[in-house]
A and B are shown apart, each in its own frame.
Chain A
C-alpha cells in the first residue's frame, strides 16, 4: 500500500506550530502527564495515539489553556500557553470528544454567536455561518436545534464552530470516537480538507486506522509518557503489517488453506491461522506483494474464496509490539451511537 502524503503543499516547511517540552500535570497521585515532549510541524497532522486514560485529553486541555500544567513549557503558534493564554486563544480551535456547541441553539445560531464572540461584524458573522454550514453539509439543518442533530452532524457542527476563526492550529480530541463508520469517514474528509488548506492539526485517537488516515507523524502515549514516535510507516514497520482475513466459500477448506500457506515458508504468511469459529483465515502480510502472492497461491490451488479483507493492527497490537505489554484499553465501546 503506498501512502499518499496528506499535504504535499506543506511538506518541508521548517517551523513548529506546536512545541511541548517536559509537560507535567498531576492530579493528586495520578500523573496524567509525566514529562511530555512533542513537536508538530506547521501544516502537518500529528496523531497522538493512546488508550483511554493515557493523558491525551489532559494534553489537549493544557494546550488549549483549559488547565494549567504543573511544569514544563508549551508554545503554540509562537505563544506560551501559560504566559500568553489570551493571544493563544486567538490562534487555536478545539473540537473535543463531546460536542462543544449550545444544544438548545440551532446550528446557525451557534455559528453566528461564535462569530460575534470572535469580533466579526454582524454581516460577516452571518456570512461566515452560512458559508460553514454549507461547507459542512448542514445547510438543511441550519434552523434545527443542535440537540436534534445526529452524532455525525453534531461533530460536523463542532468542527465548523472550530473553523470560524480560521485557527492556525486545530486540536481534535478523539474526533470520531462513538461515530459509526460512515459518519467517521465524513469527519475524516473534513479534517483532510482543513489540512489541505494549511491548518496544523494535533489529533488524538484510539484508532490506528484513524491515525493512518489522517496523520503525517505519530506519537504513542501511555500513562502520561511518550512511548514511541515516528512516521506512520515507521511505526507500522515496527508493529508489523496488516492482517489478511479470508473467508473460504466452504468452511471445510479452512484447514487445508492454512496448511498450504504455512508451507510457503514466507515470513509473515507462514503465520497463517484458521479460526473455524469465525470461519476465517487470518494471514499476517508484510507487503503488497505478499498479499498478491497469497491470493494467487490460493487461486492456483483451486480454493474458492467468498470474502477477503485486510485489517490494520489494533491499538492493542501496537502497544503489544512497542511495550511488550497489553494496553489497558478500558473502553472501546462507543459512548454515543450516531443516528
Chain B
C-alpha cells in the first residue's frame, strides 16, 4: 500500500503529479493492450468452458441448416439448376459459410448487452485498460466460435458429398473472407447491443434485419428466377457478394468483383461502425 505518491493539490487549480502526464499522454501501449485483450479472451473462454451450452448454436446450427436445406429444397432447387441434390449441395455450402458469420455475430450483441447489466463491466471501465479491449476480446472469441461453426459446416458438406472444384488455397481464402466480413458485422451488433435495453430486444431486432438480408441474397438460391426488384436488391446485398466470392473461391465459378466488393464492405462497415461502438461503450453509464 503506498500513499506516498499522493500529491496534495491546491483546490482551485488542480495540478497533476508529474507521473500523471506521462500516463495520460502515453496511453496504454500496444504490448499492454495485447496482454489485456489476452486476459479478457481468457475470461470469455472460461465462460464458455463453464457453460458449454453456449456453444450449442455454433455446433448445431451448421448441422441443422445443411440437413434442412439440402434435403428439403435440394432436390427441387438443384433440379431447376440443371442438376440435383448434389448440385445444390455444392451451391449451398459456400453460401452458408457467409450466413454462419451473421448468425454468430448476432450472439455478440446480446452477449455485450448481458455483460453490461452486470457489475463486472463497471470494474473493467474503472481499470487502466483501453476500453476497446473488452470489445476486441469479445470479437476474437466470437471469431473462434465462427471458425468452429465453419469447420463443422464444411465437415457436413464433405460428409454429404460436396466436391471442391477450386483449390485448397481458395477454400482457405473463402474462410478468411467470411471471417473478415463476420468481424465487421459484429461491430454492428455490438453497437445494437449497447444501444438497446435488453438482450431479447437485440435478438429480435437482429432477426428482423437478418432474415431479409439472408434470404434476399444468393445464399440459398440463384437470384436469376427472382423478380427484377428483388434481383436489384440481391445484387447490392453484401451477403450475395460474400456468398458469390466463397462459391467462386471454392467451386471455381465466376468471381467477378465479389471478393473486392466483400472486402470493401467489411472495411467500410468496420471503419464506420467500430468507432461509434467504442465511443458508445465509453460513454455508456
Contacts and interface: CB of A to CB of B under 8 A. Distances in A.
A65 B46 contact: no
A65 B120 contact: no
B125 to A, nearest CB: 6
Given A94-B122, A101-B119, A166 B2 contact: yes
A94 B128 CA distance: 13
A166 B1 contact: yes
B257 interface: no
A84 B24 contact: yes
- B interface residue count range (under 10 / 10 to 19 / 20 to 34 / 35 or more): 35 or more
Contact of A64 (B5, B40, B126): B126
Contact of B122 (A43, A66, A86): A66
A104 interface: yes
B280 to A, nearest CB: 14
B17 A105 contact: no
Interface residues of A, number: 54
A103 B118 contact: yes
A19 B6 contact: no
Interface stretch (A195-203, A299-307, A323-331): A195-203
Interface stretch (B7-15, B74-82, B97-105, B266-274): B7-15
B202 to A, nearest CB: 20
A218 B32 CA distance: 39
A96 B122 contact: yes
B123 A119 contact: no
B22 to A, nearest CB: 8
B169 interface: no
Contacts of B121: 100
Q: Which of B19, B24, B38, B120: most chain A Cβ within 10 A?
A: B120
B197 interface: no
Contact of A80 (B1, B16, B124): B16
Contacts of B11: 19, 21
Interface of A is mostly: loop
B281 to A, nearest CB: 12
A89 B5 CA distance: 14
Given A84-B16, A117-B39, A61 B285 contact: yes
Contacts of B14: 19, 73, 75, 80, 83
B1 A197 contact: yes
B127 interface: yes
A117 B118 CA distance: 18
A101 B47 CA distance: 13
Interface in B116-160: 118-129
B3 interface: yes
A117 B36 CA distance: 5
A65 B126 contact: yes
A77 B6 contact: yes
B27 interface: yes
A17 B118 CA distance: 29
A145 B28 CA distance: 30
Interface in B28-57: 28, 32, 35-36, 38-40, 42-43, 46-47, 50-51
5 contacts: A101-B120, A103-B118, A104-B50, A116-B35, A119-B35
Given A79-B16, A96-B119, 8 more contacts: A16-B8, A65-B125, A80-B16, A98-B119, A117-B127, A197-B1, A199-B1, A200-B3
